[in-house]
Amino acid sequence: MALLEVCVDSLAGLDAALAGGAERIELCSRLDVGGLSPTDELLQGARARVAGSVPLFVMVRPRAGDFVYSASELATMLAELATRRERADGFVFGALRPDGTVDRDATSTLVRAARPKPVTFHRAFDLVREPFAELETLIALGIERVLTSAGAPTAFDGRVKLAELVRRARGRIVILPGGGVRAAHAAELVRTTGVRELHGSVPFDARSL
């Protein structure tokens, strides 16, 4: 079965995710607005809770809203990467341009600042105008995975396009379906798309897959 990543925005959520069999954690705050950077207190508590049992990927997103960042917002994101690199096993972020393309310059700068930790380009990808072309951009930038519903309301709704993204990726980047993923349809989502990882939020019990 696919590896299960679970997104949490509290220590209670983290405990539930671990109890449910999560194999990787995405840590953020404010899931009600799509996820923002976690507070230092939350990151410290999560690091202690996880204690190396599963990888802890940390969101880097300074505000809600769009993913077109100003120079000052980009500086804030770079500062977060610098101060959190030792406490994170990976990072999750995304930056776009007003024309609906990946912001190559900003993303490249963020990726370099995140190294040697792996990077997930988050669901900002669902807003790009040409997903297949922008998939190649992410691959060229060396990003390890992209979290996406293929632009659909849920990953299950987008399963046909997700399958095409997997085909075009050809193993060069991990396609990580996210958005409304539920245990009831997870097995079919994996079967129809060929993905090897899934992204959900609590409650999600991996033992029911």
Domain boundaries, given as residue ranges, for the chain: 3-208
Question: What's the rounded Cα separation, in Å, for the pair 78 and 88?
Answer: 14
Question: What Cα–Cα distance (Å) separates residue 187 from each residue in 6, 19, 38, 113?
Answer: 16, 20, 31, 36
Is pLDDT above 80 for 208?
no
Average pLDDT over residues 189-200: 96
User: Residue 8 above 70 pLDDT?
Assistant: yes
pLDDT tens for 144-168 read 999 999 999 999 999 999 999 999 9
CATH of 3-208, one of 2.30.130.10, 3.30.365.10, 3.20.20.380, 2.60.210.10: 3.20.20.380
Name the CA dihedral angle for 85, 120, 143, 177, rounded to a multiple of 10 degrees: 160
The pLDDT assigned to 145 comes to 98
Q: Evaluate if pTM is beyond 0.85.
A: yes
Q: Does 41 score more than 60 pLDDT? A: yes
Kindly tell me if the per-residue pLDDT of 128 is higher than 50. yes
Which residues, listed in sequence order, are joined to residue 90 by a DSSP beta bridge?
A: 57
Question: What number is the average pLDDT over the span 60-64?
Answer: 97
d(C-alpha 85, C-alpha 189), whole Å: 33
Taking Cα atoms as reference points, which of 27, 118, 113, 103 lies closest to residue 66?
103
Count of beta carbons in the 10 Å neighbourhood of residue 46: 21
In order, the DSSP letters of 145-182 are EEEE-TTSSSTTTTHHHHHHHHHHHTTSSEEEEBSS--
Looking at residue 36, the DSSP 8-state letter turns out to be: B
